Every structure is written in structure tokens, then in C-alpha cells.
Amino acid sequence: MHEDEGNFAPLAPQSQESVQLSAGKQRACAEFVYISCSVESLIDTCWSFTDPEPLEALIEQSSRPDTKHDSKARSLLSCGAPILQLLLSLCTIVRVQDKLIEFGHIIHRLDDLILIAREKCYAFPYKDVPFCWVELFRFASFLKASVLAMESTWGETKHFLPRNNKSEGFQVGFPGLSEKTIDGMVEAIDTALIMAGHPSDDKARVKINHILEILQSIHQRKFNNNADIPSPSKRPRLDSDPFPRASLTPNVQRPVSIFSDPSIPALERHMQHPNNEGLGPEPLLIKGSLTGWPALTKWKDISYLRSNTIGGRRLVPVEIGKSYVDSAWGQSIITFNKFLDDYVLDSPEKPGNGMAYLAQYDLFEHIPALRNDIMIPDLCYANCSPPHHSSPFLNKHSALPRLEDPILNAWFGPAGTVSPTHTDPYHNILAQVVGRKYVRLYAPREHKKLYPKGIEEGGVDMSNTSNVDIGLISGMDGNVDDQKAAVDEFPLFKEAEYVDVILEAGDCLYIPLGWWHYVRSLSVSFSVSFWFNDTNDSD
Ligand SMILES: O=C(O)CCC(=O)C(=O)O
């Protein structure tokens, strides 16, 4: 049993006849009502995930193979009748509300289904995974989280709470959720969101966010009541010692120009009338432009980050290894606490700890509270220049559809993370929120001197990534022999022209479409990128 299990054991509500309630008892009573109402709302939402009707409809459709089904229904249908029948029987067992429900058995069978879905997801290249298995992953995981909540409130206390009699449920009072239940629910939901993506169906998306918000609020309530919270100035911060800094700070050789008037018309002029036609629009540094962002102060505060991730329980995907071109590179899904404690706050030089980077992930869809701390820069709504004629990706990038909204990604890691030299299909505003980063940029026309990779084993197209390890070839990494070997292997590289910059917290860097960039964090660092093309919210 988890040591914290039962922390929210139900408190007996005071009867109306109680004489005068002491302040402590009033607080306990208010606490009971708060937790009880939150859990009631949570169970209502979880209950909706056990609705057998859609499954019955699918099974009915599966017996009529010639019927035209909408593509979503067809997708879960393609898992086959036995899987649909199993899901239906699990939902039905939960819904009969028998006191003797074997929650453990239901959870085991859901774990089996999640395993099947997971194996299918690994068996295919990501883009080719048949949609039915992605859908099954989400369906079985959300059902598991729901059953865990019900087990905690019904199974453990043996309360039987008829769903059609809310007043009775409220009188009895919903017990709180144990820490172990919250752990299990978050793990089931987050693994599905990361592996299978957020549900495309708006209703399911709202329901899952609602469940996570309730878990967050229950955690927050407990944290506020129990913790002796130090004032913000005394809390451990990401930008203060003893958090690690990279030992070597590269010298900036050819500084990126400063954008002194960072307005949409000025950016449009810069894109449409570049100083050098042969290069196209060049990168621009926007100093101190994030002053209105709550993230600028909040994200330095480690307890803020932990508390907004349900006490560090939320799972995040991380890249493990020096960089994604490294042979020992891999990906993992870990709790935010593990990421912070083992990789960010702990020196990567410490034996046993490798490098982990929460890279290129939409953390803001995953944890919407963090989205409130940032703002999409106005510059992302400029009318953009097309891909430059010197770009090897001219046709590919020209064919991309117009984005409705910028694509947001978080980049969070310790000192020393490296994004190897690559190019992206969008214009980019890279906002530096915490810490410092070195960025070196090459114009599209330099591509031959960067020795782009090709199609790798397994058919992965790596042609947007350079073979040159800039850390090594420019003396930041490796030993003299390795550095010399790199210079000999890529003789044209020394002729490639570049600009470079060190981004400080509060700065933004405009990276034009098609520019190659090498990015290296010089301290614990948290950045947000905004990819855009002709994103325009005016029509
Ligand atoms: O910050 C990084 O490590 C890489 C950022 C990047 O490549 C991008 O924003 O496109």
C-alpha cells in the first residue's frame, strides 16, 4: 500500500444540531464538502466513459458489413468483434453497480487491451499505425482511469452510490481519492495522451481535461492545506545556483542583427525586401520582448512547475541521449518529478545520469495551465515570405498548407542539450523563457556545405538534418583528434557562412523559414517555439 494512501479518508459531516463549530471543525467540514463535490463531479465524468451504448451500436454495425459507417466508428470497429465485446462487457459490469464488483479483474483486462494497442503502435512506423489501435489505446486507458476512480470511491469504502440518486450520494459523501489512485489515473491518461495523442473528438477532450483539472484541484487543495509554503523569493529556482551550467560558453563570432522595431509591418518589410536578395530574410534578435509573460517569473520557480503538474505526477515525453543523431539516443515517458530531479536539477555530469531533453513537445495542450503563462507573439501573424529560391526544400515547403494557428512547442532541459543543425518547414519565433542558449544559423543556400543526411535505415527522411556535428567541429566537444577528423571529413564546412547569438531569458529569435540552426543550452533552459507560415487570424 502506498504510504499516503487514505490521506483523504472521509470526514464525518457535522449534524445540523451541532452546537457551535470550532474554526478547525468548520474548516474540516468545508474541506469535506469541497472534496466530496469535486469527487462527485469526477465520478460523473468517469461514469460517462463506461457508457455501453456506443459499443453496442458498433457491435450492431459490425454484424452489417455493408453498412456505411463514419470513419471514426469504423476505426474502433476495425479492432474486431471480440475486442468490442470485451470492452462492452467491462463497461456493463461497472454499470450494474454490484457491491461485489471485481475492480481488480476489470483493470487487468483493460491492461491487456492497452498492451495489445501499445504493441500495435510499436509494430508500425508512427504515421502508418492503423487508427483503430490508437483509438483502442485511448478508449481502454480512459476507461481504466475511470475504473480506478470508481474503485477508490466505491470499492475501498464499500459505499454503494446509486447514480440515479445524487442526493443520496451527496448525503453519504464521496470519500477523497488516495494518492495511489491519483498516481494510477494520471499514469493511464497521460500515457495514452502522449502515445496516442489527444482525442480528436471535442467532447472526449473536454472530459479528459475536466478529470485532470479535478485531480489538479484536489492536489492543490491538499498541498495548500498541508504545506508550509515558502514565499516565492525563498523557493528553489531554476536559474539560481546550484543548478548546472555548461562549462563552455561559445564566443559569438557573427552576431545576429537586433530587431529594434519588432512590429508586424517591420517584419513584413524585412521578409519582403531583404538586405541581401541572395540570402533572403535573415534572423533577427528581439531583446527583452517577453515582459508581459507570467512564465518569465513563474517558470523559474520549481514548486510552481511541480504543483501545476499535479505534484510532479504528470508524465512527459523526453529524449534521452546527447542528441537525436546520436546512436544511443532514445525516447522515454517519465514523470515531471523524475525529469526535474534526475536530469534538470541534477548535474548531467554526475555518474549514472545521462541527458534528457523535453524537446519539441506541445506541453501546452498537455498541461493547459502553462498555456496561460505565455502569449503568442504578434509577429507570428505577419504575412510571410515564401521559401527562398536557394532552399533545397523550395517545392516541398511551398506545398505546405497555411497554418490556422502557430504550432507551439516546449524545449525544457538541463545545461548541455543539443539540437543538431537542422532546418524546419516554418518561420519560427524562438522565445527564451528561462536560462541561456547558444544558436548558430546558416542560410538555405549554404546547405551543400552542411552535408545534409538522406533517407536513413527504416525509411526515415533525415534530409533536413546536417551530418556535421558543430559541437565537435568547432571545438566545443570531443578531443583534438576527433575534431580534426571531423574537419577532414567535411572539408566544405569551413566555408559555410553563419550568424550566431546567445539568447538570454526574455529574448526572442526570429528564425526565417529554411534557415539551418544548431541550438545548445548553456544552463538549465526552458524555451517555447512558435512555428508559423501565413497564419492569419483576421479571416
Ligand atoms: O531549442 C532547441 O533546442 C531547438 C529549437 C528548434 O529547433 C526550433 O525551435 O525549431
| Residue from 422, 502, 527 to probe ligand 1 pocket by mutation (most atoms less than 8 Å from CB) | 527
Per DSSP, the residues of 410-464 read EEEE-TT-EEEEE--SSEEEEEEEES-EEEEEE-GGGGGGG-B--B-GGG-B-TT
Query: Which of 428, 515, 520 should be mutated for ligand 1, with most atoms under 8 A from CB?
Result: 428
Q: What are the residue ranges of helices labelled H in 343-404?
A: 363-366, 368-371, 394-398
Candidates 412, 419, 524: which one to mutate for ligand 1, based on the most atoms within 8 Å of Cβ?
419
Residue nearest to atom 8 of ligand 1 (CA): 529
Reported as a pLDDT band with limits 50, 70 and 90, residue 123 is confident
**pLDDT of the residue at 124:** 85
> Quick one: which atom of ligand 1 is closest to the CA of 411?
1
290 CA → ligand 1 middle, Å: 18
In ligand 1, which atom is closest to the CA atom of 521? 3
The stretch 11-17 carries a mean pLDDT of 37
pLDDT of amino acid 421: 98
CA nearest ligand 1 atom 3, residue? 419
Ligand 1 atom nearest 517 alpha carbon: 7
Q: Region 249-262: what's the mean pLDDT?
A: 94
Question: Which numbered atom of ligand 1 lies nearest the CA of 417?
Answer: 3
Q: Rounded to two decimals, what is the model's pTM? A: 0.87
Residue 54 CA to ligand 1 centre (angstroms): 42
Ligand 1 centre distance from Cα of residue 423 (Å):
10
CA of residue 361 to ligand 1 center, whole Å: 11
Cα(189) to centroid of ligand 1, in Å? Answer: 27
pLDDT in tens, 414-429: 999 999 999 999 999 9
Supply the pLDDT for residue 175.
64
- For residue 510, the surrounding DSSP H or E stretch is strand 508-511
CA 409 to centroid of ligand 1, rounded, Å: 9
pLDDT at 299 over 80: yes
pLDDT at 308 over 70: yes
Q: Where are the domains of the chain?
A: 23-226, 257-532
Average pLDDT over residues 226-246: 62
Residue 201, helix vs strand vs coil: coil
Report the Cα–Cα distance between both ends of the chain, in Å, rounded.
Answer: 56
Q: What is the pLDDT of residues 344-356, one digit of tens each?
A: 986 555 555 689 9
Tell me which of 98 and 253 has the higher pLDDT. Answer: 253
pLDDT at 457 over 90: no
Instruction: Give the tens place of pLDDT for each residue, 312-366.
Output: 999 999 999 887 777 778 899 999 999 999 999 865 555 556 899 999 999 999 9
pLDDT given for residue 347 in this prediction: 56
Q: 490 C-alpha vs ligand 1 centroid, how far in Å?
A: 24
pLDDT at residue 162 in the model: 44
State in Å: Cα 518 to ligand 1 middle: 8
DSSP H/E element including 499: strand 498-503
CATH number of the 257-532 domain = 2.60.120.650
Query: Which residue has the CA at smallest separation from atom 7 of ligand 1?
Result: 419
Task: Give per-residue pLDDT as tens, 143-202.
Answer: 999 999 988 887 544 444 444 444 444 444 566 788 899 999 999 999 999 999 999 889
Q: Which atom of ligand 1 has the smallest separation from the CA of 527?
A: 1
Q: How far is the CA of 265 from the centre of ligand 1 (A)?
A: 25
Residue 24 has pLDDT above 80, yes or no: no
Alpha-carbon torsion 107, 110, 116, 121, what sign? negative
| pLDDT above 70: residue 241 | no
278 CA → ligand 1 middle, Å: 25
pLDDT of residue 364: 97
CB 382 within 8 A of CB 429: no
Going from the Cα of 422 to the center of ligand 1, the distance in angstroms, rounded, reads 9
| From 114-118, 123-127, 214-218, 521-525, the region with the lowest mean pLDDT | 123-127
Chain length of the chain: 539
Residue 80 in this model has a pLDDT that exceeds 80: yes
Q: What are the backbone angles phi and psi of residue 26, rounded to the nearest 5°?
A: -60, -40
- For the chain, what percentages of helix, strand and coil (3-state, to nearest 5) are there? 45, 15, 40
pLDDT confidence bin for 1, thresholds 50/70/90:
very low
Helices of type H across 273-379: 295-298, 302-307, 336-338, 363-366, 368-371
Give the pLDDT score at 95: 84
pLDDT higher than 90, residue 71 = no
418 CA from centroid of ligand 1 (Å): 9
Distance from Cα 475 to the centre of ligand 1, integer Å: 21
Residue 240, pLDDT score = 64
State the pLDDT confidence band at 12, using cuts at 50, 70 and 90: very low
116 vs 58, residue with greater confidence: 116
pLDDT band at 11 (very low <50, low <70, confident <90, very high): very low
What is the per-residue pLDDT for 158? 45
**Which atom of ligand 1 lies nearest, measured to the CA of 419?**
3
User: Is the per-residue pLDDT at 23 higher than 60?
Assistant: yes
In tens, the pLDDT along 360-400 reads 999 999 999 999 999 999 999 999 999 999 999 999 999 99
pLDDT, tens digit, 9 for 90 and up, residues 37-50: 788 889 999 999 99
β strands within 163-298, DSSP E: 257-258, 284-286
The answer to whether 205 and 368 have CB atoms below 8 angstroms apart is: no
Nearest CA to ligand 1 atom 9: 529
- Ligand 1 atom nearest the C-alpha of 430 is 9
Question: Within a 10 A sphere around the Cβ of 41, how many other Cβ atoms?
Answer: 16
Calculate the average pLDDT of the chain: 85
E-assigned strand segments in 205-295: 257-258, 284-286
CA of 430 to the centre of ligand 1 (A): 7
- Residues near ligand 1 with C-beta < 6 Å? 411, 419, 424, 428, 430, 517, 519, 527, 529
